A and B are shown apart, each in its own frame.
Chain A
Amino acid sequence: MSRTWFSTLKDLLGEDYVEPGTPLCAGCGAIIALRLFHKALGGRVVWVNAAGCITLLIVYPFTPLKSSWMYTAMASAPAGAQGIRDALDILIEKERIPVEEDLKVVVVTGDGAASDIGLQSTSGAIHRGLDFYYLCYDNEAFGNTGFQYSAATPYGSRTATSPPTPLIPEGYRGRKKDLFEIWRAHKPPYVATVSPSHPMDMIRKIEKAEKYKGPKLFISISPCPPGWIIETMDTVKLAKLAVETGIWPLKEAVYGEVHHTYIPRRLKPVEEYLKIQGRFKHLFYPVRRDDVIAKIQREIEEYWRIVYDKELGKEDSGLT
Protein backbone atom coordinates (compact mmCIF):
# COMPACT_ATOMS: atom_id res chain seq x y z
CA MET A 1 0.00 0.00 0.00
CA SER A 2 1.52 3.36 -1.03
CA ARG A 3 1.69 5.87 1.76
CA THR A 4 3.10 9.27 2.48
CA TRP A 5 5.15 10.16 5.49
CA PHE A 6 4.08 13.36 7.19
CA SER A 7 6.83 14.96 9.16
CA THR A 8 5.75 18.60 9.26
CA LEU A 9 2.54 20.56 8.90
CA LYS A 10 3.58 21.50 5.35
CA ASP A 11 3.43 17.86 4.31
CA LEU A 12 -0.32 17.97 4.96
CA LEU A 13 -0.81 20.22 1.96
CA GLY A 14 -0.53 17.19 -0.37
CA GLU A 15 -3.41 15.28 -1.89
CA ASP A 16 -6.84 15.95 -0.49
CA TYR A 17 -9.54 13.27 -0.70
CA VAL A 18 -12.37 15.56 0.35
CA GLU A 19 -13.26 18.04 -2.36
CA PRO A 20 -14.41 21.52 -1.34
CA GLY A 21 -18.09 22.29 -1.35
CA THR A 22 -19.74 19.98 1.17
CA PRO A 23 -23.25 20.54 2.52
CA LEU A 24 -21.97 20.63 6.12
CA CYS A 25 -22.26 23.75 8.28
CA ALA A 26 -19.59 26.43 8.00
CA GLY A 27 -16.93 25.87 10.64
CA CYS A 28 -17.79 22.20 11.20
CA GLY A 29 -15.09 20.55 13.27
CA ALA A 30 -15.96 17.05 12.06
CA ILE A 31 -14.98 17.69 8.46
CA ILE A 32 -11.52 18.89 9.53
CA ALA A 33 -10.92 15.63 11.38
CA LEU A 34 -12.29 13.59 8.49
CA ARG A 35 -10.12 15.43 5.96
CA LEU A 36 -6.95 14.90 8.03
CA PHE A 37 -7.88 11.28 8.61
CA HIS A 38 -8.28 10.75 4.91
CA LYS A 39 -4.90 12.30 4.12
CA ALA A 40 -3.22 9.94 6.55
CA LEU A 41 -5.05 6.83 5.36
CA GLY A 42 -4.86 7.52 1.63
CA GLY A 43 -7.60 7.07 -0.94
CA ARG A 44 -8.29 3.32 -0.76
CA VAL A 45 -10.93 3.71 1.88
CA VAL A 46 -14.57 2.86 2.36
CA TRP A 47 -16.28 5.01 4.97
CA VAL A 48 -19.08 3.31 6.86
CA ASN A 49 -21.45 5.79 8.40
CA ALA A 50 -24.20 5.83 11.01
CA ALA A 51 -26.94 8.49 11.14
CA GLY A 52 -25.54 11.88 12.10
CA CYS A 53 -24.33 15.21 10.71
CA ILE A 54 -21.75 13.56 8.46
CA THR A 55 -24.50 11.53 6.78
CA LEU A 56 -25.35 14.72 4.93
CA LEU A 57 -21.86 14.89 3.46
CA ILE A 58 -23.30 12.89 0.59
CA VAL A 59 -26.70 13.75 -0.74
CA TYR A 60 -27.56 12.10 -4.02
CA PRO A 61 -26.16 12.71 -6.63
CA PHE A 62 -23.20 14.58 -5.10
CA THR A 63 -20.22 13.38 -3.08
CA PRO A 64 -17.17 15.40 -2.04
CA LEU A 65 -15.24 12.17 -1.38
CA LYS A 66 -12.80 10.57 -3.78
CA SER A 67 -13.28 7.33 -1.85
CA SER A 68 -16.21 4.95 -1.22
CA TRP A 69 -19.08 5.46 1.17
CA MET A 70 -21.67 3.24 2.84
CA TYR A 71 -24.46 4.65 4.93
CA THR A 72 -25.89 1.97 7.21
CA ALA A 73 -28.19 2.88 10.14
CA MET A 74 -27.80 4.66 13.43
CA ALA A 75 -27.00 1.58 15.51
CA SER A 76 -24.89 -0.62 13.30
CA ALA A 77 -22.09 1.06 11.35
CA PRO A 78 -19.45 -1.25 12.93
CA ALA A 79 -21.51 -4.25 11.79
CA GLY A 80 -21.63 -2.72 8.31
CA ALA A 81 -17.83 -2.48 8.46
CA GLN A 82 -17.70 -6.13 9.50
CA GLY A 83 -19.71 -7.16 6.43
CA ILE A 84 -17.48 -5.27 4.00
CA ARG A 85 -14.24 -6.44 5.68
CA ASP A 86 -15.40 -10.07 5.75
CA ALA A 87 -16.60 -9.96 2.13
CA LEU A 88 -13.35 -8.45 0.86
CA ASP A 89 -11.34 -10.98 2.89
CA ILE A 90 -13.18 -14.02 1.57
CA LEU A 91 -13.26 -12.76 -2.03
CA ILE A 92 -9.49 -12.10 -1.92
CA GLU A 93 -8.92 -15.50 -0.29
CA LYS A 94 -10.96 -17.20 -3.04
CA GLU A 95 -8.96 -15.17 -5.59
CA ARG A 96 -12.10 -13.65 -7.01
CA ILE A 97 -10.67 -10.13 -6.64
CA PRO A 98 -7.01 -9.03 -6.64
CA VAL A 99 -5.41 -7.71 -3.43
CA GLU A 100 -5.03 -4.31 -5.10
CA GLU A 101 -8.82 -3.89 -4.91
CA ASP A 102 -8.75 -4.13 -1.12
CA LEU A 103 -10.02 -1.21 0.96
CA LYS A 104 -9.40 0.16 4.43
CA VAL A 105 -12.68 0.10 6.30
CA VAL A 106 -13.34 3.20 8.40
CA VAL A 107 -16.43 3.79 10.50
CA VAL A 108 -17.34 7.44 10.98
CA THR A 109 -20.11 8.42 13.39
CA GLY A 110 -21.03 11.17 15.80
CA ASP A 111 -20.99 10.88 19.57
CA GLY A 112 -24.72 10.14 19.63
CA ALA A 113 -24.35 6.96 17.57
CA ALA A 114 -21.06 6.06 19.29
CA SER A 115 -22.10 6.50 22.92
CA ASP A 116 -25.18 4.35 23.32
CA ILE A 117 -27.35 3.26 20.38
CA GLY A 118 -24.28 2.00 18.51
CA LEU A 119 -22.40 0.72 21.53
CA GLN A 120 -23.57 -2.88 21.15
CA SER A 121 -22.34 -3.19 17.58
CA THR A 122 -19.13 -1.33 18.48
CA SER A 123 -18.44 -3.59 21.43
CA GLY A 124 -19.13 -6.62 19.24
CA ALA A 125 -16.77 -5.43 16.52
CA ILE A 126 -13.95 -4.70 18.99
CA HIS A 127 -14.48 -8.03 20.72
CA ARG A 128 -14.30 -9.88 17.39
CA GLY A 129 -11.05 -8.10 16.63
CA LEU A 130 -12.41 -6.56 13.44
CA ASP A 131 -9.64 -4.88 11.46
CA PHE A 132 -11.07 -1.37 11.10
CA TYR A 133 -10.77 2.28 12.07
CA TYR A 134 -13.48 4.13 13.96
CA LEU A 135 -13.54 7.92 13.87
CA CYS A 136 -16.03 9.45 16.29
CA TYR A 137 -16.51 13.19 15.84
CA ASP A 138 -17.68 14.35 19.22
CA ASN A 139 -19.74 17.54 19.14
CA GLU A 140 -21.20 16.59 22.51
CA ALA A 141 -24.86 16.37 21.46
CA PHE A 142 -27.21 15.11 18.74
CA GLY A 143 -26.12 17.89 16.38
CA ASN A 144 -27.91 16.84 13.24
CA THR A 145 -31.35 16.79 14.85
CA GLY A 146 -30.92 20.23 16.38
CA PHE A 147 -28.57 19.75 19.33
CA GLN A 148 -30.38 17.64 21.90
CA TYR A 149 -28.26 16.23 24.72
CA SER A 150 -26.52 12.92 24.10
CA ALA A 151 -24.61 10.64 26.43
CA ALA A 152 -21.54 12.68 25.47
CA THR A 153 -22.94 16.06 26.55
CA PRO A 154 -20.85 17.63 29.34
CA TYR A 155 -22.20 18.87 32.64
CA GLY A 156 -23.53 22.43 32.43
CA SER A 157 -24.22 22.55 28.69
CA ARG A 158 -27.34 24.06 27.25
CA THR A 159 -28.92 21.81 24.65
CA ALA A 160 -32.37 21.85 23.05
CA THR A 161 -33.47 19.26 25.62
CA SER A 162 -31.58 20.64 28.61
CA PRO A 163 -32.51 24.31 28.61
CA PRO A 164 -31.30 26.27 31.64
CA THR A 165 -34.34 27.41 33.63
CA PRO A 166 -34.86 28.84 37.14
CA LEU A 167 -35.60 25.26 38.21
CA ILE A 168 -32.52 23.79 36.51
CA PRO A 169 -30.09 26.72 36.28
CA GLU A 170 -27.04 24.71 35.18
CA GLY A 171 -28.64 23.22 32.06
CA TYR A 172 -27.51 19.62 31.51
CA ARG A 173 -27.14 17.87 34.85
CA GLY A 174 -25.69 14.58 33.64
CA ARG A 175 -22.07 13.68 33.09
CA LYS A 176 -20.24 12.99 29.86
CA LYS A 177 -19.94 9.26 29.24
CA ASP A 178 -16.30 8.19 29.04
CA LEU A 179 -16.20 6.53 25.64
CA PHE A 180 -12.40 6.28 25.67
CA GLU A 181 -12.53 4.12 28.80
CA ILE A 182 -15.38 1.99 27.46
CA TRP A 183 -13.33 1.24 24.39
CA ARG A 184 -10.12 0.77 26.38
CA ALA A 185 -11.81 -1.80 28.60
CA HIS A 186 -12.04 -4.03 25.50
CA LYS A 187 -8.22 -3.87 25.15
CA PRO A 188 -8.15 -3.10 21.42
CA PRO A 189 -4.72 -2.46 19.87
CA TYR A 190 -5.28 1.28 19.63
CA VAL A 191 -7.56 3.96 21.10
CA ALA A 192 -6.88 7.69 20.97
CA THR A 193 -8.42 11.09 21.47
CA VAL A 194 -7.54 13.72 18.88
CA SER A 195 -8.32 17.35 18.12
CA PRO A 196 -8.51 19.28 14.84
CA SER A 197 -6.36 21.92 16.53
CA HIS A 198 -3.47 19.45 16.78
CA PRO A 199 -3.16 18.01 13.27
CA MET A 200 0.32 16.55 13.66
CA ASP A 201 -0.72 14.78 16.86
CA MET A 202 -3.69 13.33 14.96
CA ILE A 203 -1.63 12.28 11.94
CA ARG A 204 1.06 10.62 14.06
CA LYS A 205 -1.59 8.68 15.94
CA ILE A 206 -3.15 7.43 12.72
CA GLU A 207 0.25 6.44 11.39
CA LYS A 208 0.99 4.62 14.61
CA ALA A 209 -2.39 2.88 14.59
CA GLU A 210 -1.84 1.66 11.05
CA LYS A 211 0.78 -0.74 12.32
CA TYR A 212 -1.85 -2.68 14.24
CA LYS A 213 -4.34 -5.14 12.81
CA GLY A 214 -7.62 -4.95 14.67
CA PRO A 215 -9.90 -2.22 16.00
CA LYS A 216 -8.36 1.26 15.97
CA LEU A 217 -10.51 3.89 17.53
CA PHE A 218 -10.28 7.70 17.49
CA ILE A 219 -12.45 10.25 19.27
CA SER A 220 -12.08 13.77 17.91
CA ILE A 221 -13.44 16.82 19.64
CA SER A 222 -15.61 18.51 17.08
CA PRO A 223 -16.64 22.10 17.82
CA CYS A 224 -20.07 22.77 16.32
CA PRO A 225 -20.81 26.46 15.58
CA PRO A 226 -24.64 26.20 15.52
CA GLY A 227 -24.86 23.92 18.58
CA TRP A 228 -22.10 25.41 20.68
CA ILE A 229 -23.19 28.89 19.59
CA ILE A 230 -19.72 30.01 18.54
CA GLU A 231 -18.33 31.96 15.60
CA THR A 232 -17.60 29.75 12.59
CA MET A 233 -14.02 31.05 12.55
CA ASP A 234 -13.47 29.93 16.17
CA THR A 235 -13.70 26.15 15.62
CA VAL A 236 -9.97 25.48 15.81
CA LYS A 237 -9.52 28.07 18.57
CA LEU A 238 -12.14 26.27 20.67
CA ALA A 239 -10.59 22.87 19.99
CA LYS A 240 -7.21 24.27 21.05
CA LEU A 241 -8.66 25.80 24.23
CA ALA A 242 -10.28 22.46 25.04
CA VAL A 243 -6.85 20.85 24.94
CA GLU A 244 -5.08 23.65 26.82
CA THR A 245 -7.65 23.89 29.60
CA GLY A 246 -7.37 20.13 29.99
CA ILE A 247 -11.05 19.44 29.41
CA TRP A 248 -10.08 17.45 26.28
CA PRO A 249 -6.95 15.44 27.07
CA LEU A 250 -4.95 14.19 24.10
CA LYS A 251 -4.05 10.60 24.81
CA GLU A 252 -3.71 7.13 23.39
CA ALA A 253 -3.92 3.60 24.71
CA VAL A 254 -2.03 0.74 23.11
CA TYR A 255 -3.58 -2.57 24.17
CA GLY A 256 -5.05 -0.70 27.14
CA GLU A 257 -1.85 1.08 28.24
CA VAL A 258 -2.61 4.82 28.51
CA HIS A 259 -0.16 7.53 27.53
CA HIS A 260 -0.89 11.25 27.18
CA THR A 261 0.53 12.69 23.98
CA TYR A 262 0.24 16.30 25.09
CA ILE A 263 0.53 17.34 28.71
CA PRO A 264 -0.21 21.03 29.26
CA ARG A 265 2.55 22.48 31.45
CA ARG A 266 0.01 24.68 33.10
CA LEU A 267 -3.75 24.24 32.64
CA LYS A 268 -5.57 27.31 31.43
CA PRO A 269 -8.70 28.03 33.53
CA VAL A 270 -11.69 26.24 31.98
CA GLU A 271 -13.60 29.51 32.17
CA GLU A 272 -11.65 30.71 29.10
CA TYR A 273 -13.10 27.80 27.16
CA LEU A 274 -16.63 28.07 28.56
CA LYS A 275 -17.25 31.80 28.37
CA ILE A 276 -16.91 32.12 24.58
CA GLN A 277 -19.56 29.49 23.93
CA GLY A 278 -23.26 30.32 23.83
CA ARG A 279 -24.11 26.86 25.20
CA PHE A 280 -22.46 27.87 28.51
CA LYS A 281 -23.66 31.49 28.51
CA HIS A 282 -26.10 30.80 31.37
CA LEU A 283 -23.11 30.10 33.65
CA PHE A 284 -22.02 33.73 33.27
CA TYR A 285 -25.17 35.73 32.54
CA PRO A 286 -27.41 37.11 34.02
CA VAL A 287 -25.91 35.62 37.19
CA ARG A 288 -22.42 34.19 37.35
CA ARG A 289 -22.59 30.57 38.52
CA ASP A 290 -19.28 30.20 40.29
CA ASP A 291 -20.45 26.92 41.85
CA VAL A 292 -20.98 25.27 38.46
CA ILE A 293 -17.78 26.67 36.92
CA ALA A 294 -15.79 25.58 39.98
CA LYS A 295 -17.25 22.08 39.79
CA ILE A 296 -16.18 21.74 36.14
CA GLN A 297 -12.70 23.11 37.00
CA ARG A 298 -12.38 20.73 39.95
CA GLU A 299 -13.15 17.67 37.87
CA ILE A 300 -10.53 18.65 35.28
CA GLU A 301 -7.92 19.13 38.00
CA GLU A 302 -8.75 15.82 39.62
CA TYR A 303 -8.25 14.12 36.28
CA TRP A 304 -4.89 15.76 35.62
CA ARG A 305 -3.57 15.27 39.15
CA ILE A 306 -3.65 11.52 38.48
CA VAL A 307 -2.07 11.97 35.04
CA TYR A 308 0.73 14.16 36.41
CA ASP A 309 1.40 11.66 39.17
CA LYS A 310 1.58 8.79 36.75
CA GLU A 311 3.28 10.31 33.76
CA LEU A 312 5.34 13.26 35.06
CA GLY A 313 5.92 12.74 38.73
CA LYS A 314 4.46 14.96 41.44
CA GLU A 315 7.20 17.62 41.40
CA ASP A 316 6.39 18.63 37.82
CA SER A 317 2.68 19.11 38.38
CA GLY A 318 1.02 21.68 36.14
CA LEU A 319 -1.54 22.42 38.84
CA THR A 320 -1.20 25.56 40.89
Chain B
Amino acid sequence: MSDIRFTDQHEWVRVDGDIATIGITDYAQEQLGDVVYVELPEIGKTIEAGDEAAVVESVKAASEVYTPVSGEVIDVNSDIEATPAGVNEDAMGDGWFVKLRMSDPAEFEKLMDENAYKEFVEGLH
Protein backbone atom coordinates (compact mmCIF):
# COMPACT_ATOMS: atom_id res chain seq x y z
CA MET B 1 0.00 0.00 0.00
CA SER B 2 1.46 3.32 -1.03
CA ASP B 3 1.43 6.12 1.46
CA ILE B 4 -0.26 9.31 0.21
CA ARG B 5 -0.68 12.75 1.73
CA PHE B 6 -2.40 15.96 0.62
CA THR B 7 -2.10 19.74 0.99
CA ASP B 8 -4.74 22.41 1.36
CA GLN B 9 -3.50 23.70 -2.03
CA HIS B 10 -4.72 20.44 -3.60
CA GLU B 11 -1.39 18.79 -4.27
CA TRP B 12 -0.79 15.13 -3.45
CA VAL B 13 2.47 13.40 -2.50
CA ARG B 14 3.02 9.66 -2.70
CA VAL B 15 6.11 8.24 -1.03
CA ASP B 16 8.13 5.16 -1.86
CA GLY B 17 11.29 4.98 0.27
CA ASP B 18 12.82 8.47 0.05
CA ILE B 19 11.25 9.19 -3.36
CA ALA B 20 8.21 11.46 -3.38
CA THR B 21 5.92 11.72 -6.41
CA ILE B 22 3.91 14.96 -6.57
CA GLY B 23 0.79 15.81 -8.51
CA ILE B 24 -2.46 17.74 -8.27
CA THR B 25 -5.65 16.19 -6.97
CA ASP B 26 -8.68 15.18 -8.94
CA TYR B 27 -10.54 18.05 -7.26
CA ALA B 28 -7.85 20.46 -8.52
CA GLN B 29 -7.96 19.25 -12.13
CA GLU B 30 -11.72 19.52 -12.10
CA GLN B 31 -11.57 23.09 -10.76
CA LEU B 32 -8.96 24.04 -13.36
CA GLY B 33 -10.76 22.59 -16.33
CA ASP B 34 -8.94 21.56 -19.50
CA VAL B 35 -5.21 21.67 -18.89
CA VAL B 36 -3.46 23.08 -21.97
CA TYR B 37 0.09 23.65 -20.74
CA VAL B 38 2.39 22.31 -18.06
CA GLU B 39 5.80 23.69 -17.11
CA LEU B 40 8.05 21.38 -15.12
CA PRO B 41 11.30 22.05 -13.23
CA GLU B 42 14.76 21.02 -14.38
CA ILE B 43 16.01 17.66 -13.20
CA GLY B 44 18.70 18.16 -10.56
CA LYS B 45 17.13 21.30 -9.13
CA THR B 46 16.73 21.45 -5.35
CA ILE B 47 13.44 22.84 -4.07
CA GLU B 48 12.19 23.56 -0.57
CA ALA B 49 8.73 22.73 0.76
CA GLY B 50 6.39 25.54 -0.28
CA ASP B 51 8.42 26.46 -3.39
CA GLU B 52 6.87 26.52 -6.82
CA ALA B 53 7.57 23.14 -8.39
CA ALA B 54 5.58 23.45 -11.60
CA VAL B 55 3.00 25.54 -13.44
CA VAL B 56 -0.27 24.21 -14.77
CA GLU B 57 -2.41 26.24 -17.15
CA SER B 58 -5.99 25.85 -18.30
CA VAL B 59 -7.57 27.82 -21.14
CA LYS B 60 -8.59 30.35 -18.50
CA ALA B 61 -5.62 30.78 -16.20
CA ALA B 62 -2.21 29.76 -14.92
CA SER B 63 -1.76 28.18 -11.47
CA GLU B 64 1.36 27.24 -9.53
CA VAL B 65 1.96 23.80 -8.16
CA TYR B 66 3.89 24.01 -4.87
CA THR B 67 5.98 21.17 -3.55
CA PRO B 68 4.83 20.07 -0.10
CA VAL B 69 8.21 18.45 0.65
CA SER B 70 11.84 19.50 0.12
CA GLY B 71 14.28 17.67 -2.06
CA GLU B 72 16.08 17.25 -5.36
CA VAL B 73 14.12 16.83 -8.58
CA ILE B 74 15.05 13.42 -9.98
CA ASP B 75 12.38 13.05 -12.64
CA VAL B 76 9.59 15.00 -14.36
CA ASN B 77 6.60 13.70 -16.30
CA SER B 78 7.40 14.60 -19.90
CA ASP B 79 4.17 12.87 -21.01
CA ILE B 80 2.05 15.67 -19.56
CA GLU B 81 4.32 18.27 -21.14
CA ALA B 82 3.58 16.71 -24.52
CA THR B 83 -0.09 15.94 -23.73
CA PRO B 84 -1.32 18.27 -20.97
CA ALA B 85 -4.82 16.74 -21.10
CA GLY B 86 -3.26 13.74 -19.33
CA VAL B 87 -3.55 15.75 -16.11
CA ASN B 88 -7.35 15.84 -16.50
CA GLU B 89 -7.55 12.19 -17.47
CA ASP B 90 -5.61 10.75 -14.52
CA ALA B 91 -4.57 13.46 -12.06
CA MET B 92 -3.89 11.00 -9.24
CA GLY B 93 -1.90 8.54 -11.36
CA ASP B 94 -0.35 8.96 -14.82
CA GLY B 95 -0.85 12.73 -14.58
CA TRP B 96 1.87 13.14 -11.90
CA PHE B 97 4.22 16.13 -12.22
CA VAL B 98 7.52 15.68 -10.39
CA LYS B 99 9.56 13.10 -8.49
CA LEU B 100 11.82 14.32 -5.67
CA ARG B 101 14.45 12.66 -3.52
CA MET B 102 13.27 13.95 -0.16
CA SER B 103 15.74 15.70 2.12
CA ASP B 104 13.41 15.79 5.13
CA PRO B 105 10.88 12.93 5.22
CA ALA B 106 9.37 14.40 8.41
CA GLU B 107 7.72 17.05 6.23
CA PHE B 108 5.62 14.35 4.65
CA GLU B 109 4.21 13.16 7.95
CA LYS B 110 2.80 16.64 8.74
CA LEU B 111 0.55 16.67 5.67
CA MET B 112 -3.13 15.66 5.57
CA ASP B 113 -3.96 12.01 5.09
CA GLU B 114 -6.65 10.88 2.68
CA ASN B 115 -9.53 11.17 5.15
CA ALA B 116 -8.46 14.60 6.37
CA TYR B 117 -8.20 15.85 2.77
CA LYS B 118 -11.59 14.40 1.90
CA GLU B 119 -13.12 16.28 4.82
CA PHE B 120 -11.25 19.43 3.81
CA VAL B 121 -12.65 19.30 0.26
CA GLU B 122 -16.17 18.62 1.51
CA GLY B 123 -15.84 21.70 3.69
CA LEU B 124 -15.20 23.81 0.57
CA HIS B 125 -18.72 23.29 -0.77
- A complexed with B: no
